[in-house]
Structure 1
Amino acid sequence: MRIALSQLTTGPDPESNLGLLRDEARRAADGGARVVVFPEAAMACFGTPLAPLAEPLDGPWAEGVRAIAGDTGLVVVAGMFTPAPDGKVTNTLLATGPGVEASYDKIHLYDAFGFAESDTVAPGSEVVTIDVDGLRIGLATCYDVRFPELFRAHADAGAVASLLPASWGAGPGKREQWELLTRARALDATLWVAAVDQADPAASGAPARSKAPTGIGHSVVVGPDGTVRQSLGPEPGMLLADLDPDEVASVRRAVPVLANRRLSELG
């Protein structure tokens, strides 16, 4: 199955960002993709007040994403913000398109490196997978990549790939951690990991937004054996990748880490 990772830089205006998604989805469709994946915070970049712009899953922004999916025939995965109790929002991935309608609320919030996502964002609690053309795919977001149990849960649910939209925080060593963690999660769960980050704002000519995690680029597709198959630099771009489910089965036969787990016996 061919997927497209659209590495872009979003700004604070949801309507303008929707236009970016529309143009990129058309590029993905022209490239033969079945799924196009946009970064976390595709609706509006971090560093923007989130509560005033949050919308429900049946609101106009989500409906705009559904229209893009309908126009292109693609399954679209994009990060948005939905209302939550106590004035907070939920960091949500919307997955929509032919035969697919699902949402994932980010479970692990980015309370690290001097940033406190939980001040304004409520955590999710449910593992979510989608089925596209008979293939099961797990959904995760950014900081989730530091928690291997989520990706193993995708594999236990039958997934052959995990999609990881992100808006990765910049800083010393953060690019190296990004590559290490995406490769490690592919190995942990012996599945494909397709991780799409926001492009580096500096490479896009966009203004920096204080300490907000606004992306470093370097989107990556990692095979189930942990090897990097394709990657981008810091600037905006699109990556087209063909994910082979047979390779997942082959790697799991050779390195059956999922079958060999013994934690239940140690409890």
Structure 2
Amino acid sequence: MKIALGQFAVGKIWEENLETVLGLMEKANQQNAELLVLPEGILARDIADPEIVLKSAQPLDGPFISAVIEKSRTMPMAVAMTVHTTTGEKRVHNNHLVIHKGKIIACYTKLHLYDAFNMQESANVEPGTEVPALVEIGGFKFGLMTCYDVRFPELARRLAADGADAFLLPAAWVRGLGKEAHWNILVTARALENTCYMIAVGECGERNIGASMVVDPLGVAILQAGEAPALVYANLSKERIEHARKILPVLKNRKFKTPELT
């Protein structure tokens, strides 16, 4: 299965970000990708305005998502991303969406909010309450995660136990002392300890590192982007998953129960 990772810098104006997204969709589809994964929070971003998520949030039937859905009707490729959506109150959800052939086929509301490193995502964002169901594309079962979720091995293990072949991780990973190393370590660990592919896509604006990457089920980074906007491609292999799980049967050998939400 051929996948595309569309790393870009999210700006303040949602219409401009939408044009970027539609352009990436067109290019990835022309290269016969079956899935395009985009970063976290792609409606709008302004590091000088922490409340931009409130100001820019749209409903799922708003103009941003509606335009992506309409574009997806013209191509066989699926697209995954996260956007901030309105809740009807003075807060928003950080929703990881998968859109395919004119429909939202998956919607996961981020569980673990980024209240760390002197930041507080929960000031404006309401956390989710459910483990996401797996979504199947091109014969692969994908588990959905979002950015800070990667620091919590329970979610990845639950998705793997549910039957995931791969994880999708849109992110906006903030720069900082040791943070790039954290990204590499955590993305690799979640793949290796669950013998799943990890597809991690980072926003690459003023504050965030980019560094989108694909790690295979044995912890091998088969693709990594730099700090600039990029559209890059990788191939997922069922045979590689089967090989990893044959020689490293950690999912069969585990002694702990499948994680549940508290």
TM over 0.5: yes
Query: In structure 1, what residue type is equivalent to 2:120?
Result: A
1:84 aligns with 2:84: no
Work out which of the residue numbers 213, 218, 222 in structure 2 matches 1:225: 218
Is 1:100–1:131's contact at 8 Å kept on the other side of the alignment?
Answer: no
Q: Distance in 2 between matches of 1:157 and 1:23?
A: 34
1:39 aligns with 2:39: yes
Question: 2:166 is matched with which residue?
Answer: 161
SS at match of 1:262: coil
Is 1:148–1:188's contact at 8 Å kept on the other side of the alignment?
Answer: no
Name structure 1 gaps, 5 residues minimum: 202-207, 209-213
Shift of 1:46: 5.4
Q: Distance in 1 between matches of 2:72 and 2:194?
A: 29
Trace 1:39-188 onto structure 2 (pairs within 5 A).
39-45=39-45, 47=47, 48=49, 49-84=52-87, 86-98=89-101, 101-128=105-132, 129-188=134-193
Question: 1:24 is matched with which residue?
Answer: 24
Q: Percent identity?
A: 38
TM-score in terms of structure 1 length = 0.90
1:240 aligns with 2:240: no
Q: CA RMSD in A?
A: 1.6
Q: Distance in 2 between matches of 1:46 and 1:190?
A: 37
Q: Distance in 2 between matches of 1:264 and 1:156?
A: 10
Shift of 1:131: 0.8
Q: Distance in 2 between matches of 1:142 and 1:116?
A: 14
Trace 1:1-16 onto structure 2 (pairs within 5 A).
1-16=1-16
Q: Distance in 1 between matches of 2:104 and 2:257?
A: 34
Shift of 1:176: 0.8
Q: Distance in 1 between matches of 2:109 and 2:124?
A: 14
SS at match of 1:112: coil
Runs (4+) of structure 1 exceeding 3 A deviation are none
Deviates more, 1:49-58 or 1:28-37: 49-58
1:162-196 C-alpha deviation (Å, 9 max, x unpaired): 01000001101111110010000001211000100
Flag the 1:97–1:253 CA change in 2: closer, same or farther, 3 A: same
Is 2:3–2:234's contact at 8 Å kept on the other side of the alignment?
Answer: yes
Is 1:135–1:160's contact at 8 Å kept on the other side of the alignment?
Answer: yes
Query: In structure 2, what residue type is equivalent to 1:16?
Result: E
Name structure 2 gaps, 5 residues minimum: none
Q: Distance in 1 between matches of 2:223 and 2:157?
A: 23
Is 2:69–2:104's contact at 8 Å kept on the other side of the alignment?
Answer: no
Shift of 1:72: 3.1
Q: Distance in 2 between matches of 1:166 and 1:8?
A: 11
Q: Distance in 2 between matches of 1:61 and 1:18?
A: 6
SS at match of 1:115: coil
Flag the 1:251–1:100 CA change in 2: closer, same or farther, 3 A: farther
Question: 1:211 is matched with which residue?
Answer: none
Q: Distance in 2 between matches of 1:46 and 1:75?
A: 28
Is 1:31–1:240's contact at 8 Å kept on the other side of the alignment?
Answer: no
Q: Distance in 1 between matches of 2:227 and 2:75?
A: 27
1:39-68 C-alpha deviation (Å, 9 max, x unpaired): 001111253422222122122211111122
Deviates more, 1:70-79 or 1:22-31: 70-79
Is 1:29–1:74's contact at 8 Å kept on the other side of the alignment?
Answer: yes
SS at match of 1:80: strand
Query: In structure 2, what residue type is equivalent to 1:240?
Result: Y
